[in-house]
Amino acid sequence: MIAALALTLMAASPEAAPAADAPIRCAGEHRQGAILVCRTVPGAQVTLGDLTESADGEGWIVMGYHRDAPSHAVFRVRHEGGVWERRVEVEPREYEIQRIDGLPPAMVTPPPDPAFQARLARENRTKGAAYTSRWEGHGFLEGFDWPVTGRITGVYGSQRVLNGEPRRPHYGIDIAAPTGTPVEAPAGGVVTLADPDMYWEGGLIFIDHGQGFTGVFMHLDTVDVEVGDIVQKGDVIGTVGATGRVTGAHLDWRVRWRNRQIDPEALLALDVSDLR
């Protein structure tokens, strides 16, 4: 639109931008691993750090911060009326160090044979394709519940050292529960991946809760949904298992938005009622 050429910088700092004038309101926190659900001008382009995405036709947008998000982020809303921008402080977190020793070597480093590598590549493509989903529903507005309850045996962000080797951080929350315990959708969404036998994850389900904000459910004993199914909050999607590379029955629940891993526990505290 022509109006976009006449963009004005309405505010460049928090002091210059009383909250009442901001064209965006959010639930959530500016914190590493946090979810943000915001309401702004329909169709506005919203920038958070190095990512820019569009609000939907009702002005809703869901976003989040990665585990290692920098200490400051640009937060910008660009719409027909202009540009609003502020620099936000992102609260840092400290993460646990988790050492696990005595694992079978194949669980730490997969075997190098070509057929096996082809399998891993195929599974990575499947997951990558599922992450491109952009469901237009609003599961993320419902509030999130635990998919299963049990003892927490692993938390988001912990630095893992497996058999003495530093590995990628753990991005899920591990919830121990007996094999066969029902796993419920923590919020509504569309199933974008449902596979009973992935190498690392075993039985694996992805649910796009809206705009590609995706819940990941790993090590399932049974996968009771199919790709394309629309699930409601509380629907049973599968059962807890010990499939894939695991040492015992548990659910590993992860949340991903674009290339960022979000802390599932941050979802549980979210309250969007003030934004409606």
Interacting residues with Zn ion (CB under 5 A): 154, 172, 174, 252
In angstroms, give the least distance from the CB of 147 to Zn ion.
13
For the bound state, the minimum distance from the C-beta of residue 149 to Zn ion, rounded and expressed in Å, comes to 16
* Residue (144 or 253) nearer to Zn ion, CB: 253
Q: For the chain, what is the largest distance between any 2 Cα atoms, rounded to a whole number of angstroms?
A: 64
CB of 110 or CB of 154, closer to Zn ion: 154
Q: Specify the residue, 208 or 252, whose C-beta has the smaller distance to Zn ion.
A: 252
Phi, psi of 240 (to 5 degrees): -60, 140
Assess contact for 38 and 61: CB atoms under 8 A.
yes
For the beta carbon of residue 168, count every other beta carbon within 10 angstroms: 9
Decide whether 55 or 218 has the Cβ nearer to Zn ion: 218
In the bound state, the residue with its beta carbon closest to Zn ion is 252
- For residue 169, which of 178, 179, 180, 157 has the smallest C-alpha distance? 157
CB of 253 to Zn ion, least distance (A): 9
Nearest distance in Å: CB 276, Zn ion: 34
Closest approach of Zn ion to the CB of residue 120, in Å: 18
Instruction: Give the separation between CA 29 and CA 114, rounded to whole angstroms.
Output: 45
Shortest Å distance, C-beta 177 to Zn ion: 13
Strand order in the sheet with 60-64: 25-28, 35-39, 60-64
**SS3 (DSSP) at 215:** strand
Rank residues 28 and 172 by Cβ distance to Zn ion and give the closer one: 172
Cβ closest to Zn ion, residue 150 vs residue 154:
154
> Which neighbouring-strand residues pair with 168?
none
The residue (of 36 and 249) whose beta carbon lies closer to Zn ion is 249
* Extended beta strands in the chain, E state: 25-28, 35-39, 45-48, 51-54, 60-64, 72-79, 82-89, 97-100, 151-154, 159-162, 165-166, 173-176, 182-184, 189-198, 202-208, 214-223, 230-231, 236-240, 250-257, 260-262
Closest separation between CB of residue 161 and Zn ion, Å?
14
